[in-house]
């Protein structure tokens, strides 16, 4: 999935949604960076993070900036979403990634970060809160390049009597079927 295209789509939509609020967006995604992820799901994850940042800045009544950047190393792609907003409220920090628990806003479901975290984990990756204080917040998405981490758990073991379950050979992991 070409990352720059996904990021641009999110920013275009959120720039519109920002309306009158004084929010600027910046993106620094290496040209041609392609990550292995479901495009729709990756869009949802990035949208959730950027929308949270946009809403937090708007609610603060102050100007702010939202930045998206990415880097890669041998093992993984890293996508960073930073903002200069007010930081996560304590309740959201305590219940980070827990459904229905951390939402502080009216109209929010408290599901966004929980869903984003599940999607990233479904890609064998992780979602990290890097920093959050009164100067802003930074989330990092790590997507591994190693496809072995994408393999599902063994599907049959639970259905078999214990003795037979032990005969089930270890599943082949690390297929090449993962969607690009
Ligand atoms: N970038 C951010 N800056 C400040 N607060 C944030 C940020 N991202 C998330 N939050 C806080 O975390 C809460 C949980 O976020 P989320 O799971 O997306 O639920 P929702 O947006 O539906 O409330 C939000 O209500 C908000 O208080
Ligand atoms: Mg949200």
Neighbours of 6 (CB within 10 A): 23
Q: What is the model's pTM?
A: 0.82
Is 3-145 a domain of CATH 3.40.1550.20? no
What are the residue boundaries of the structural domains of the chain, listed by start?
A: 3-145, 152-180
Beta strands at 23-28 and 64-72: parallel, antiparallel or unpaired: parallel
User: Cβ neighbours of residue 35 under 8 Å, at least 6 residues apart?
Assistant: 1, 3, 42, 70, 77, 79, 143
pLDDT at 110: 80
Chain CA centroid to CA 17, Å: 20
Determine the residue of 67, 98, 100, 108 to mutate for testing ligand 1's pocket, defined as the one with the most ligand atoms within 8 A of the Cβ atom.
108
For the CA atoms of 77, 82, 88, 92, the dihedral, rounded to the nearest 10 degrees, stands at: -30
63-109 pLDDT, tens digit each: 999 999 999 999 999 999 999 999 999 999 999 998 877 665 555 67
φ/ψ bin of 124: left (φ > 0), alpha (ψ from -120 to 50), beta (otherwise): left
pLDDT at 40: 97
pLDDT, averaged per 10 consecutive residues of the chain (180 residues), comes to 97 96 97 96 98 97 98 97 97 89 64 95 97 97 82 62 54 49
Q: Which residues have CB less than 5 Å away from ligand 2 (the ion)?
A: 52, 112
User: Cβ neighbours of residue 158 under 8 Å, at least 6 residues apart?
Assistant: 165
pLDDT at 99: 85
What is the residue with the minimal CA distance to atom 21 of ligand 1? Answer: 108
pLDDT at 178: 46
């Amino acid at each position: 999935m070409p990352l720059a295209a996904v990021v641009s789509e999110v920013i275009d939509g959120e720039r519109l949604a920002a309306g009158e609020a004084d929010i600027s967006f910046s993106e620094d995604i290496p040209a041609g960076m392609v990550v292995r992820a479901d495009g729709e799901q990756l869009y949802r994850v990035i949208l959730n993070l950027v929308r949270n940042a946009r809403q937090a800045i708007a609610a603060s009544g102050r100007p702010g900036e939202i930045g998206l950047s990415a880097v890669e190393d041998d093992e993984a792609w890293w996508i960073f979403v930073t903002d200069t907003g007010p930081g996560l409220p304590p309740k959201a920090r305590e219940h980070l990634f827990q459904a229905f628990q951390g939402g502080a806003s009216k109209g929010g479901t408290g599901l966004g970060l929980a869903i984003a975290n599940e999607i990233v984990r479904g890609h064998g990756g992780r979602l990290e809160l890097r920093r959050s204080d009164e100067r802003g917040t930074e989330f990092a998405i790590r997507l591994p390049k190693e496809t072995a981490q994408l393999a599902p758990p063994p599907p049959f073991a639970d259905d078999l009597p214990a003795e037979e379950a032990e005969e089930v050979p270890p599943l082949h992991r690390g297929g090449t079927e993962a969607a690009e």
